[in-house]
Structure 1
């Protein structure tokens, strides 16, 4: 049996899928807008899983559900609802006290956890993520929300006092910005979406939320939690083709913040649609082509272990994935041998299988694109270094190590976002540095070496080229308390628990001249709890 046939045989009949992982079709015929679950009887999009099932006509992707294809009309109605709920900053939500907003968020988390089983199952079936990683994504998202609540309390505690300077007394707090358009990615459709949605929400903004193309259905079980936890019009969902519904929203000029995780091309188009870009705040996490540099002083076993994690976790479909490896020529042969062995030992299979590492790819076009990249590399002097590398069957693509990669190849420039590992040999350390200088991306780099002086000589140039330098470790986002951003085309704004709260708010202050009359006025307002902003309440 050929390896391709072996891959094909991994797709089993539905009767062989364990009961706890089988899924009933989810047909969504409603959406959340202006505090109501509004019925939908228009066009729908069929959702097919990357998991294929045997049929009399061969392997076919399993239909797991449908969701609404709304139009610009419904999007504009959602925008109107968000604008009304914000009410120029006078709405119930933006003027609500922080402790009340926190109570609403805690209610949402409670209701969200009730849907864990279904959301995790939909993560597996919609995007092919392993059960372990799907459960981890859900649980990490809950942890992120709780950490955001704690972070907000911390910020508020620091703001609960008055400051005095040059005869002026003031209280400085953070206040919301307005209406936020929130759009997340397919690879972490729950977690990454919520890393912008949750801080934007808890800071008092109102939301338009558009789920990603792949990973839409898994948000459906959470809509009622949003509806029941937050005031009318605070959270509104938008469905439909992005090209049809989002440009019109931006053209109104009524979107105050664009929170987007995806490609820089799409982000640039959305920003240009806004009539007053100077008034638009953008929080963006975009393209990345993170490099790893393996020097001749590296612990090769450690480097291989971290590079495997970095380049192939969730099939390499992460913005923080290692997408290019530079290895010193003196150690290239041994590194490639160890890398090939490690790739061969990875378990490929269906999402519910224990210890599975390589799963089906959600994007239908991705296997063809990866083959195109591999063929292009071969035409320009590289070859597949590991056994069965690049072999494809339906949505399965076995990881391919490609060497030696050069600047004539697509893999040198393009973000492959899949299980292909380009390896570039180098002699002078100036080569990977120059690569980063010339790259349009600037998110992270990983440096592998046990020579402290060598590492120190690389830290200083790279911290000014990327936003995070990892020493003897893979590129990654977490911990969530650390800043997450990028340079050049890779990001705009900074995300982390505290940074995100700041990104979706602005510092506002109430100030007055320090005299007896004004002291009495302020003391009276604070004593009588007449203002949610001007207050010395301390949230524990």
Structure 2
């Protein structure tokens, strides 16, 4: 197969109008303290990973710009969030669960009105296929409604009083305070909202910093945030993270840090907080998920799932399969089938039907992946598939690298891109030892048709990773399942229900079981004097 990578890029006139942006989006406002404040300062130019053919060669398409705010604006937004929480006495944290749900529902209706714009911006900002951008938006809306349903269940379970050992009590969940929410570029809407929405609906106030790649797609939602929630509950901060975030943490006013990104950044930020015992962290971090293909595996199934797991959205997923252990007796056949399957993947522009491989948003990523491949070659590996690792501007064709060993970067570093390192093994103890020694502990995939072999791997590996997948790729969903990791891969658990728990704490009101106290409780409940102490039942 001969690659003509230049031909995958379009001229401006050839881009289908239904997928093009109506106009460049130059954002000059940010949301703080209940208002869309104008910005006249420095801005960051946003260029798509999608290059355009011009008379001067390939050039990244400019799609807009956004504010680069300073520490001053960030600290003012923090003050707004602190004031809105008001030590737990603010309108939002004391609001009834039913009314908070109504606000989130109102926001979701307004969000749906912006679907077309947001989906196109996902595609243009990070190069995700149009079909997958639509899926990301729809899955996010489904997640919001699932969160609402889960909160209703929790609230219904909490609506009764308990009497134990002469004590009457009602146990509910209450908010934690001010949340600093930072999402990732690879799922800039969905994974951001899997922390932002549960944090919000539980009564916390927010500072929201959009990801570096995937900032503009949140702009159409700012008015929905502003008009759906009380003043100061949602505040956006823009700017360079290394300039504005340290002072936010050093203030000691951040109660919850939620970050989906690197463990190094998370460690640095946590250390800046002056009262670390008061800081709760909900983190989705690095992962180097392994696939283990045993001698008893169905090779066709293993190859199919490996390609899905390793190369969906160009391998830019924390749940991606990032290293493959294959039994040496099957290695050559596995590589042959894997090469054939990769060659069938359609590559091109995100709006093309059936496209699987698209340009990469990070400017330095092609050079890094090339560096990893060259490093592997120095230590004896080869690129197995034709054209593997070829680069043009923002596009990298997938590379299957074999045999990978412990001397190589691809063995230990999370490549987060379309490179598939394959390691041969003779004894199952080898992949087990790899996972034991790894600083990552998110997931593993086991491919085998032998129940005894599978069980021999399950028991040691459930104590190394948070999810063991049998004969299927690593993945996050369904969202009702817990999503977390061991070691440096995560802190806290995210599922629809677990996220609500992560952004809240159990609180209770208790009194001795006397007639006088029962009369007091009855009066409070019957007269609706408290939003916390209540027997209202949300349907």
- The residue that corresponds to 2:189 in the other structure is 190
- The residue that corresponds to 2:536 in the other structure is 537
User: What pairs with 1:187-226 in structure 2 (closer than 5 Å)?
Assistant: 187-226=186-225
- The residue that corresponds to 1:17 in the other structure is 15
RMSD: 0.7
Q: Deviations over 1:435-465 (max 9, x none)?
A: 0010000000000000011101110000000
| Contact residue 33 and residue 236 of structure 1 kept, 8 A | yes
- The residue that corresponds to 1:290 in the other structure is 289
Deviation at residue 9 of structure 1 after TM alignment: 1.3
Distance 1:272 1:63 in 2: 37
Distance 1:46 1:304 in 2: 41
Distance 2:54 2:347 in 1: 22
Verify: 1:157 aligned to 2:156, yes or no.
Answer: yes
Distance 1:269 1:8 in 2: 41
Secondary structure (helix, strand or coil) at the match of 2:50 reads: strand
Distance 1:119 1:27 in 2: 15
Secondary structure (helix, strand or coil) at the match of 1:454 reads: helix
Q: Deviations over 1:301-352 (max 9, x none)?
A: 0000000000000000000000000000011111110000000010000000
- The residue that corresponds to 1:140 in the other structure is 139
Secondary structure (helix, strand or coil) at the match of 1:507 reads: strand
Deviation at residue 424 of structure 1 after TM alignment: 0.1
User: What pairs with 1:1-12 in structure 2 (closer than 5 Å)?
Assistant: 3=3, 6-12=4-10
Q: Which shows bigger deviation, 353-362 or 160-169?
A: 160-169
- The residue that corresponds to 1:104 in the other structure is 103
* Structure 2 residues without counterparts, runs of 5 or longer: none
Distance 1:130 1:86 in 2: 39
| Contact residue 172 and residue 508 of structure 1 kept, 8 A | yes
- The residue that corresponds to 2:51 in the other structure is 52
Deviation at residue 532 of structure 1 after TM alignment: 0.5
User: What pairs with 1:75-86 in structure 2 (closer than 5 Å)?
Assistant: 75-86=74-85
Verify: 1:403 aligned to 2:370, yes or no.
Answer: no
Distance 2:130 2:217 in 1: 14
Q: Deviations over 1:398-447 (max 9, x none)?
A: 00000000000000000000000000000000000000010000000000
Distance 2:53 2:484 in 1: 43
- The residue that corresponds to 1:300 in the other structure is 299
Secondary structure (helix, strand or coil) at the match of 1:38 reads: strand
Secondary structure (helix, strand or coil) at the match of 1:139 reads: helix
- The residue that corresponds to 2:451 in the other structure is 452
Distance 2:62 2:229 in 1: 33
Q: Deviations over 1:242-283 (max 9, x none)?
A: 001100000000000001000000000110010011100000
Deviation at residue 56 of structure 1 after TM alignment: 2.4
Deviation at residue 475 of structure 1 after TM alignment: 0.2
Q: How many residues align?
A: 538
| Contact residue 8 and residue 394 of structure 1 kept, 8 A | no
Deviation at residue 2 of structure 1 after TM alignment: 5.7
- The residue that corresponds to 1:346 in the other structure is 345
Distance 2:261 2:40 in 1: 30
Distance 1:366 1:9 in 2: 21
Distance 1:333 1:498 in 2: 44
| Contact residue 32 and residue 227 of structure 1 kept, 8 A | yes
Distance 2:10 2:194 in 1: 36
Distance 1:107 1:516 in 2: 42
User: What pairs with 1:266-277 in structure 2 (closer than 5 Å)?
Assistant: 266-277=265-276
Secondary structure (helix, strand or coil) at the match of 1:164 reads: strand
